Structure 1
Amino acid sequence: MESATILLADDEALLLIELEGALADAGFLVLAVTSGLRAIELLNSADSKIAGVVTDIRFGSFPDGWEVARVARENDADMPIVYISGHGSLHWQSQGVSNSLMLEKPFRLEHLVATVSQLLDARPPLGSA
C-alpha cells in the first residue's frame, strides 16, 4: 500500500517533532509545518498529494486551524481532518468542518495514529464522486 501524505500543522516545535515521528513510524509521509499560512500554501500547491490534515487550532497569527481545515475541504470535500488543541473543543461543533475529529492535548501518540488511520480508512476512494 502506498503511504498516505499527512499535513501536520502545530506551532509548538517540540510537540510537532514528537507528532511527526509517531506518524512517520506508523508509515505515513508527513509534511510538518509551524503555521497555518504555510499549511494553506501546501494545500493550495498544484502538486499537492495531501491525503489528510492534522492541525492545531491556535497559531501565533492568522490563519488559524479552523481556516486551514476549511481550505483543505474547499480543495477536497472528503479530506480527513483531525484538530488537536488544549483549548478548542468548546468551539469544535460551531467552528470545525463536518466529519472531523478533535483530540484534546495531551493525548497519547497511539491515539493520534489510530484516529488518522480511522479517518483515512473511512474516506471514499479518490475519484469515486
Structure 2
Amino acid sequence: MAWVITDALTEGGFSVVQASSGEEAIALLDKDGATYKAIVTDINISDKITGWDVAKHAREVNDKMPVVYMTGASAHDWASKGVPNSVLMPKPFAVAQVITAISQLINAAAIAL
C-alpha cells in the first residue's frame, strides 16, 4: 500500500520522503522535520512507535503540521489518540482521497498563517 500512496502523491505534485518504521519517521522528523509540509502515516507502522506517536512528534516539530492517518483497525482510537485538525482515512479508501485530504490540510494550514 505504501508505494501506491507514494506514487500517487508524487504524481499529485508532492515531494515524498518515505519511512519504513515509526523509529525511522521520528529520526527523519528530528533531522528535517521543519522542511516537511505534512505527514501521512499508517497508525500500525511498528510495535514500538505507532502512527499516533509519529504525528505527536511531528506536532512537536511544527504545531500546525497537517496529519493524515491511515488505518484498517484503529479508527475508534482517533478521538483519544489523534492530534487535533487531522484526518483519518479508514481502509479501504481511494488513493485520491488521501491526496484530497492532504491538499485540504496544507491549504488550511497556509491560510492559518
Judge conservation of contact 2:9–2:99 (CA < 8 Å) in 1: yes
Distance 1:18 1:124, change over 3 A: same
Measure how far apart 1:124 and its partner are: 3.5
1:55 aligns with 2:36: no
Residue 99 of structure 1: aligned partner:
85
Structure number with higher strand proportion: 1
Residue 90 of structure 1: aligned partner:
76
Q: Percent identity?
A: 35
Distance in 2, Cα, partners of 1:41 & 1:122: 26
Measure how far apart 1:125 and its partner are: 5.9
- Give structure 1 regions of 4+ aligned residues with deviation exceeding 2 angstroms: none
Judge conservation of contact 1:78–1:124 (CA < 8 Å) in 2: no
Residue 104 of structure 2: aligned partner:
118
Q: How does 1:1-129 map to 2 (within 5 A)?
A: 15-46=1-32, 48-124=34-110, 128=113
Judge conservation of contact 1:42–1:48 (CA < 8 Å) in 2: no
Judge conservation of contact 1:40–1:71 (CA < 8 Å) in 2: yes
Distance 1:48 1:77, change over 3 A: closer
RMSD: 1.5
Distance 1:76 1:47, change over 3 A: closer
Distance in 1, Cα, partners of 2:72 & 2:33: 32
Q: What are structure 2's unaligned runs of at least 5 residues?
A: none
Distance in 2, Cα, partners of 1:53 & 1:103: 13
Q: What are structure 1's unaligned runs of at least 5 residues?
A: 1-14
Give CA deviations for 1:72-129 in whole Å, capped at 9, x if unaligned: 0011000000000001110000000111110011110111100010000000369x4x
